[in-house]
Amino acid sequence: MAKLLRQAILSLLVLTVLTGLVYPLAVTGIAGLCCSRAANGSLIRHGDRLVGSELIGQPFDGAQYFWPRPSGISPQPYDGRNSGGSNLGPTNPAQFDAVRARIELLRAADPGNTLPIPVDLVTASGSGLDPEISPAAAAYQSQRVARARGLAPKLVEQLIQRHTRTRQWGILGEPGVNVLTLNLALDATSGADR
C-alpha cells in the first residue's frame, strides 16, 4: 500500500510540474516568438498612447463614430475583467425593452435612415466584448458618420471595406468590421481625435 501511495504522489507531482509549469511556459514562449502581437493582446497604440485592443470592444457614442455592438456587461460595459452576456432570452420582457430602446436610439441618431437595423446593433453578444460589427451594421451607420464628419459617403464606404475582415480560409466565421480600427482610421482621415 505504501508503495502505491508513493507512486501516486510522485505521479501527481510530475504531472503537476509538466502540465502546470513546463507546458504553459513552453506555449507562452512559442506564442511570444511566433506571434508576439497577438500573444500580447493585439494592443493598438496611437503614438505613445495605448488606445485599446483589437480583441475587446469599447464604447463609442458620438455621431461621428461607428457604434459597436451593445455590451451586455454591467455596471461598466465592455469591461474585459467581467465578460459575459445578459442571459436574457428573445421572449424575455427585459430583453424586448432593451432592444426597443436601442432601436429608438438608432432611429433618433439618424432619423432619415430607412434601412432595416441589423440585429447586431440592438442585441448584445454572449461575451459582451465583441470588437466587431457586421458589414451590414457598418453600412447602416455610414451615412450618419459621413454627415457628422463632413466626409464623402464613398470615402467612408471605402474605409469600411478596408477594415472588413473576411471569412477565415474563405469558409470559417462571418465577415466583420473592427469598430476601433475603423474609428481610428476615420480620425486619421478627418484629423479628429477621440
- The Cα 129–Cα 54 span in angstroms is 11
Write the pLDDT tens digit of every residue in 109-138.
Answer: 999 899 999 999 998 877 778 889 999 999
CA neighbor of 131 nearest in space, from 174, 71, 48: 71
Q: CB of 28 within 8 A of CB of 39? A: yes
Q: Rounded to two decimals, what is the model's pTM?
A: 0.77
Task: For 103, list phi and psi in degrees, rounded to 5.
Answer: -65, -45
Residue predicted with more confidence, 150 or 75: 150
- For 31, 106, 117, 128, 173, the CA distances from 113, given in Å and listed in that order, are 45, 9, 9, 26, 28
pLDDT at 192: 53
**Number of other residues whose CB lies within 10 A of the CB of residue 37:** 9
In this predicted structure, the answer to whether residue 56 has a pLDDT above a threshold of 50 is: yes
Look up residue 168 and give its DSSP letter: B
Grid cell at residue 13? 507531482
